Chains A and B, each alone.
Chain A
Amino acid sequence: MQALSAQLLVGLINGSFYALLSLGLAVIFGMLNIINFAHGAVYMMGAFCAYFLLNVFGIGYWPALIVAPILVGIFGMVMERTMLKWLTGLDQLYGLLLTFGLALIIQGVFQNYFGSSGLPYAIPDELQGGINLGFMFLPIYRAWVIVCSLVVCIATWYLIERTRLGAYLRAATENPTLVRAFGINVPRMITLTYGLGVGLAALAGVLSAPINQVRPLMGADLIIVVFAVVVIGGMGSIMGSIITGFALGIVEGLTKYFYPEASNTVVFVLMVLVLLVKPTGLTGRAT
């Protein structure tokens, strides 16, 4: 029983990464209709950015949590302005292929310069150590990751579903011409939204740097699972991807306990089952 509670908690922690990453993907897909395969690459860039901020400029973990997502977000906006913009109105497949190619290039460049085995990034002193919960030793850093990602997820959801800005955004995706007629700069909103999605991935990268090695392929290893999360949650649904992210983390944690060999595939088995019963995903709407 003790071990089981420990696994549940560990699953929840992984789930918070899935949630953060799939949230960015859902925002980009829901608002821009782009299947952003570069999401894993920008997640990796977030982690590398934190590493450089620390080792080149002496900027520590806490400022990096803000600075890295902004820098990578700006990179994302440049990418949107120079490349993705031209795909508006075309089939989603073009966006998928373009972002997939970009991901390969970005990862290749990082691998060429920094090798494959990765760079170290230490847990900040304030978050060192852990608490003995009785059933497990909970590293303080992991507890922080859960809290941080929950706050960010809820804030993003609130921004898009409950504020005026979010309402404009949603309207702009439904009918850009009409929204433009109200005097709203739709292309700029789209660029900012892409920047926000990319920034969320970079934030997840910074959060993960102290736990995993900062490696060029860290995003490539994760991106497929995150896509499965988004598909299960319903493509483009913000709340769906948050809830599914956390839930899948827990399911995966339990699999690691009961049958570890299947832990890498359980997510895809679930995806098949969900799609068989509800092809639009758990909370997705038919379009």
Chain B
Amino acid sequence: MRSGLAALLVGTALTFGMTVGATAQDKLDKNVKIGVLTDLSGLYADLAGEGSVVAAQMAVDDSGLKAKGWTIEVISGDHQNKPDVGTGIARRWIDTDKVDIIADVPNSGVALAVNNLVKEKNRILLDSGAGSSELTNTQCTPNTIHFTYDTYMLAHSTGSAMVKAGGDSWFFITADYAFGHALENDTAAVVKAAGGKVLGSVRVPLNTADFSSYLLQAQASKAKVIGLANAGGDTTNSIKQAAEFGIVKGGQKLAGLLMFLSDVHSLGLKVAQGLNLSETFYWDMNDGTRAFSKRFSERLKTHAMPTMVHAGVYAGLLHYFKALEALGGNPHDGAKVVAKMKEIPTDDPLFGKGTIRIDGRAIHPAYLFEVKTPAESKGEWDLYKLIGTTPGDEAFRPLSESKCPLVKH
């Protein structure tokens, strides 16, 4: 009898305790885990890589959430540009490490694979590094935000600016995989819409060292603009060799459709001067971008200035923290947090004021830059001059053309 009573008491106490515990957890769960999934060893390691991890850590420090009782942890992983490796890491992060948000993910192949996974698991993909505009078009999900740039923006910003400047006939040197084809098609459409014509294109296998044959074909086409629908080492090698074959001196213009600050820096101004390219962030735009970039480069081992991908990781995460703060806690319901992120307007020192649209597309202005000549440049990283700005609502694919299922037409 006595033991029965004791058991009842203990049981009641336990139940009560558990209920109290659970309620407390509901109110107070302020534990967030961020996984930066990036390319730490391959061809995108400079434009994203270690810098993205640094940018994420800076966003954590600058959010001020830690002082308000939140625990925020940043972990990183190398997807090696392989979708299977990338999804493997992401799955482990979500299932065992309880990661809430996966950030960066350069390489469209990996990003599209992780995109499906976060939807299935109701976590968040905050993409900065990948280019494919499909992430917010046919493949859009309530769990994905595409922050920094996409192929649609690149094609429109660089393509239409160059046609307006008189470059009305084009020849494309295209990387022979999904990203290259998409960039070529998007740009060709823009060129034709602006009254220009496409004289031809050549599909080049990924990771080609020698572009001279293709450059000769482009030269023979007599097109006014040679569009480089490739990325990374392929782009830098084609530009370097174009200079060698006297293509720009011969009167043809080169358009690097996707180029990052790190590419231009590694080419050197002597070769890259005069190139036009589009980005949504440049470190030397204003006091806010300069202050961030200085802090960033001090923290990075190579002391490089941030690319737009790094800036996007930082700004995207800052916005994420604002949403978390507004929600007050419980960061584990991905779709709910993303909905909040879409509700609050974005505002940060790097991209300025903007919004995140229903399809997950972050909207901010896009800039057209020209690479400076060695005489104009005042330092190692003084590389661009601004020649045009496209407002955010014109820079990205309008919702009226969207095939995203979240958009109701």
**Partner-B contacts on A (CB < 8 A):** 2-3, 6-7, 10-11, 13-14, 108, 111, 115-120, 122-123, 129-130, 136-137, 139, 141-142, 211-213, 215, 217-218, 221-222, 253, 256-257, 260-261, 263-264
Given contacts A122-B268, A263-B205, A263-B208, contact A139 B213 (CB under 8 A): no
Q: Which residues of A contact B207 (CB under 8 A)?
A: 221
Determine how close the nearest CB of chain B comes to the CB of A246; give it in whole angstroms.
15
Determine how close the nearest CB of chain B comes to the CB of A41; give it in whole angstroms.
15
B293-335 to A contact mask, C-beta < 8 Å, 1/0 = 0000000001010000000000000000000000000000000
Determine how close the nearest CB of chain A comes to the CB of B184; give it in whole angstroms.
14
Contact A139 B246 (CB under 8 A): yes
Stretch at the interface among B21-29, B36-44, B57-65, B347-355: B36-44
Contact A118 B203 (CB under 8 A): no
B381 within 8 A of A: no
Q: List 20 A-B contacts (CB under 8 A).
A: A3-B216, A10-B212, A13-B212, A14-B212, A115-B262, A116-B232, A116-B233, A117-B233, A117-B262, A118-B236, A137-B219, A137-B246, A139-B244, A212-B240, A217-B43, A260-B202, A260-B213, A261-B176, A261-B203, A263-B205
B250-281 to A contact mask, C-beta < 8 Å, 1/0 = 10000000000011011110110000000000
Q: How far is the CA of A68 from the CA of B6 in the complex (A)?
A: 85
Q: How far is the CA of A117 from the CA of B234 in the complex (A)?
A: 10
Given contacts A122-B268, A221-B207, contact A257 B213 (CB under 8 A): yes
Contact A119 B266 (CB under 8 A): yes
**Partner-A contacts on B (CB < 8 A):** 41-47, 49, 176, 202-205, 207-210, 212-214, 216-217, 219-220, 232-233, 236-237, 240-241, 244-246, 250, 262-263, 265-268, 270-271, 302, 304
Q: How far is the CA of A256 from the CA of B217 in the complex (A)?
A: 10
- Of the candidates B41, B204, B209, B232, the one whose C-beta lies within 8 Å of that of A117 is B232
Q: How far is the CA of A31 from the CA of B262 in the complex (A)?
A: 43
Contact B44 A212 (CB under 8 A): no
Q: How far is the CA of A46 from the CA of B208 in the complex (A)?
A: 20
Which residue of B is nearest A263, CB measured?
B205
Q: How far is the CA of A141 from the CA of B237 in the complex (A)?
A: 16
Contact B45 A111 (CB under 8 A): yes
Q: Which residues of B contact A213 (CB under 8 A)?
A: 233, 236-237, 240, 266-267
- Of the candidates A3, A117, A118, A139, the one whose C-beta lies within 8 Å of that of B220 is A3
Q: How far is the CA of A218 from the CA of B216 in the complex (A)?
A: 23
Q: Which residues of A contact B268 (CB under 8 A)?
A: 120, 122
Contact B245 A137 (CB under 8 A): yes
Q: Which residues of B contact A137 (CB under 8 A)?
A: 219, 245-246, 250
Q: How far is the CA of A137 from the CA of B271 in the complex (A)?
A: 18
Given contacts A3-B217, A116-B44, A257-B213, contact A211 B202 (CB under 8 A): no
Which residue of A is nearest B220, CB measured?
A3
Determine how close the nearest CB of chain A comes to the CB of B107; give it in whole angstroms.
13
Determine how close the nearest CB of chain B comes to the CB of A256; give it in whole angstroms.
4
Given contacts A117-B43, A122-B270, A257-B217, contact A130 B245 (CB under 8 A): yes
Q: Which residues of B contact A14 (CB under 8 A)?
A: 210, 212
Which residue of B is nearest A213, CB measured?
B236
- Of the candidates B41, B208, B212, B262, the one whose C-beta lies within 8 Å of that of A264 is B208
Q: How far is the CA of A122 from the CA of B302 in the complex (A)?
A: 22
Contact B213 A10 (CB under 8 A): yes
Top 3 nearest A-B pairs (CB, nearest first) are A120-B268, A256-B213, A264-B205
Which residue of B is nearest A128, CB measured?
B244
Q: Which residues of B contact A130 (CB under 8 A)?
A: 244-246
Contact B216 A10 (CB under 8 A): yes
Determine how close the nearest CB of chain A comes to the CB of B259; give it in whole angstroms.
11
Q: Which residues of A contact B204 (CB under 8 A)?
A: 260, 263
Q: How far is the CA of A253 from the CA of B304 in the complex (A)?
A: 37
Q: Which residues of A contact B220 (CB under 8 A)?
A: 2-3, 6
Contact B244 A120 (CB under 8 A): no
Q: How far is the CA of A136 from the CA of B213 in the complex (A)?
A: 11
Determine how close the nearest CB of chain A comes to the CB of B234; give it in whole angstroms.
10
Q: Which residues of A contact B202 (CB under 8 A)?
A: 260
Given contacts A117-B232, A118-B266, contact A212 B209 (CB under 8 A): yes
Determine how close the nearest CB of chain A comes to the CB of B261; give it in whole angstroms.
10
Given contacts A115-B45, A260-B202, contact A211 B240 (CB under 8 A): yes
